[in-house]
Amino acid sequence: MFRKSLLMMAALSLAVWCGAALAADAAAGKVKADDACGDCHDVADWQGEDAAAIEAMIREVASGAVKHKAKISLSDAEIANIAAYWAGG
């Protein structure tokens, strides 16, 4: 029983570590934000906001639920990357 618990804990730790390794890429987010959003937005616009809140806002804009100057088309990964960049700024 102890051995099984130990293996399960090791597997869970590995899954968490891998998830962190696959987390959003702020450097890629900077490139995309500069390209797609840089004419109107700067990283300082989001000071104090966390990545989850920024990501939710970007998703609403991309879906058309929130009015925006221009239609934006971003993948889920691009949205997560931009949010990571803006939250880290």
Q: Degrees (nearest 5) of the Cα angle 40, 61, 58?
A: 80
pLDDT at 21 over 50: no
- pTM score of the predicted model: 0.73
pLDDT value at position 2?
A: 56
Which amino acid, one-letter code, is at 18?
A: C
Running DSSP on this structure, what letter comes out for residue 89?
A: -
| Residue 67 vs residues 35, 47, 55, 60, 64: alpha-carbon distances, Å | 20, 21, 16, 9, 6
Domain boundaries, the chain: 25-88
Read off the pLDDT band of 65 (50, 70, 90).
Answer: very high
What average pLDDT does range 1-27 have in this prediction? Answer: 60
